[in-house]
Amino acid sequence: MEKSMELGAFSISLAVRDLKVSKEFYEKFGFKVFGGDASENWLILKNGDTVIGLFQEMFKKNILTFNPGWDGNANRLETFTDVRVLQRQLKTQGVQFETEADETTTGPASFIVQDPDRNPILFDQHV
């Protein structure tokens, strides 16, 4: 049996036109502000285990986001697969990269790939 990849916490990062309007809309669905900084045009909202990020004027498109090293509450995991290891695993499978993590570093890093329909997928490690 093939070992599954440990991708970390999952969220969707939404490119929004108006942060306040979007925040108020998602609050109607039970989402509460979990993190972020409205003065910097971004907020993280949570409803149960579901996490969405609202980003005004930061991204051109919505992005699927994985955070290696974090659980669903942005707590650091004791053990996790480093983003650079994930990058190497994906490279061996022929995945093409839009941006890459510097494999000579440790700690926080990120990379972006696109699925066949050009949807961006961000792997963003904060630890």
What are the pLDDT digits (tens) for 22-70? Answer: 999 999 999 999 999 999 999 999 999 999 999 999 999 999 999 999 9
13 CB-side CA count, 13 A? 22
At residue 2 the predicted structure's pLDDT band, cuts being 50, 70 and 90, is: low
- Answer whether 109's CB lies under 8 Å from 93's CB: no
Asked whether the beta carbons of 26 and 4 are under 8 A apart, the reply is: no
Q: Is the domain covering 9-125 a CATH 3.40.50.620 domain?
A: no
Helix runs in the chain, H state only? 19-27, 83-92
Contacts of 46 (CB under 8 A, 6+ apart): 31, 32, 34, 52
The overall average pLDDT reported for the chain is 95
Instruction: Return the pLDDT at 27.
Output: 98
Domain ranges of the chain: 9-125
Contact between 112 and 59 under an 8 Å Cβ cutoff? The reply is: no
